Amino acid sequence: MALITETYLRTQLIKGLANPFPVTEGDKLTPAAADFLKERGIPLQRLASQSSGTLSLNLLPVGVSNRHVHLAPHHIDMLFGEGYQLTPLRELSQKGQFAAVETVTLKGPHGSLSNVRILGPSRGLTQVEISRTDGFELGVHPPIRLSGNLAGTPGITLVGPKGSVALPEGLIIAKNHVHASPDEAQILRLNNGDRILVQAMGERPVIFADVIVRVSPQYSLDFHIDRDEANAAHLTTGDTVQIIPKNAERRLR
């Protein structure tokens, strides 16, 4: 069931509006949306309600990442004490990944951010992911990078209960990306390394261009964005965004 608004229909124009326009049982059109279709001579096509799932519809679930830290084992020791083990708080969408009970404080040249969540398990390299907004708070302006691509990035100081770490590099703003398992990728006709366009379908129909697709058996389908991107596109974890297909013709009316 969906509420179909004129704004939503306008966002569909970029990839060409389906004609007839499919609606499933229980879908509701606002009066303005109904007028919008009528003005364009587009009839409705009523489909039986079924659990079509998101995969067949070029839709992706959204995962919003707040600022967080991945720690190398020796940095866990320095921040929390020798041999310390992180305590899982909740599982994340990606298999084996968890948000830990533990947090640290980030100290930058102009300010600090406390209660910054650690994500586990530990990694080879410590990496700190913040938003551009966070960067203004800290007074440091890291580049947009994919996870693990840390060469030449700025450092930051981490403070834990047992000590601190002055990281020489490893601070990034995460580049948005899609995670998918090989099966999910196949259904969505995506390949590892593809760069796609992804559009929010709500009050702010932002299109994220140049979104990189990462395919791995370890991954589950998710479009990862940071908090600035989520707020600019009015998205929340669990929302759905659509892939704009390659070679689609865009029409604005």
Return the number of the residue (78 or 138) whose C-beta is nearest a copy of itself: 138
Looking at 8-16, 35-43, 86-94, 116-124, which segment touches a copy of itself (CB under 8 A)? 8-16
The reply on whether position 65 binds a copy of itself by CB under 8 A is no
Residue 205, preceding peptide bond in cis (omega within 30° of 0): no
The reply on whether position 14 binds a copy of itself by CB under 8 A is yes
Q: Backbone phi, then psi, for 56, in 5-degree steps?
A: -75, -10
Looking at 77-85, 101-109, 120-128, 232-240, which segment touches a copy of itself (CB under 8 A)? 232-240
Looking at 17-25, 32-40, 125-133, 151-159, which segment touches a copy of itself (CB under 8 A)? 125-133
CB 235 within 8 A of CB 225: yes
Q: How far is CA 172 from CA 5, 65, 117, 176, 186, in A?
A: 37, 13, 15, 12, 30
Site for a copy of itself in 159-218 (CB under 8 A): 195-197, 199, 203-210
The reply on whether position 146 binds a copy of itself by CB under 8 A is no
User: Token pair for residue 209?
Assistant: 């261009």
Which neighbouring-strand residues pair with 144? 173
What torsion, rounded to 10 degrees, do the Cα atoms 32, 36, 42, 47 define? -40
Return the number of the residue (129 or 229) whose C-beta is nearest a copy of itself: 229
CB 18 within 8 A of CB 46: no
Q: Backbone phi, then psi, for 135, in 5-degree steps?
A: -60, -40
CB 176 within 8 A of CB 233: no
Looking at 3-11, 55-63, 89-97, 104-112, which segment touches a copy of itself (CB under 8 A)? 3-11
Looking at 77-85, 107-115, 161-169, 231-239, which segment touches a copy of itself (CB under 8 A)? 231-239
CB 102 within 8 A of CB 87: yes
The reply on whether position 132 binds a copy of itself by CB under 8 A is yes
The reply on whether position 18 binds a copy of itself by CB under 8 A is no
Number of residues engaging a copy of itself in binding (CB under 8 A): 36
Antiparallel, parallel or unpaired: β 21-24 and 177-180 = unpaired
Task: Tell which one of 229, 239, 241, 242 touches a copy of itself (CB under 8 A).
Answer: 229
Q: Residues in the site for a copy of itself, rule: CB under 8 A?
A: 7, 10-11, 14, 131-133, 143-144, 195-197, 199, 203-210, 227-229, 231-234, 244, 246-252
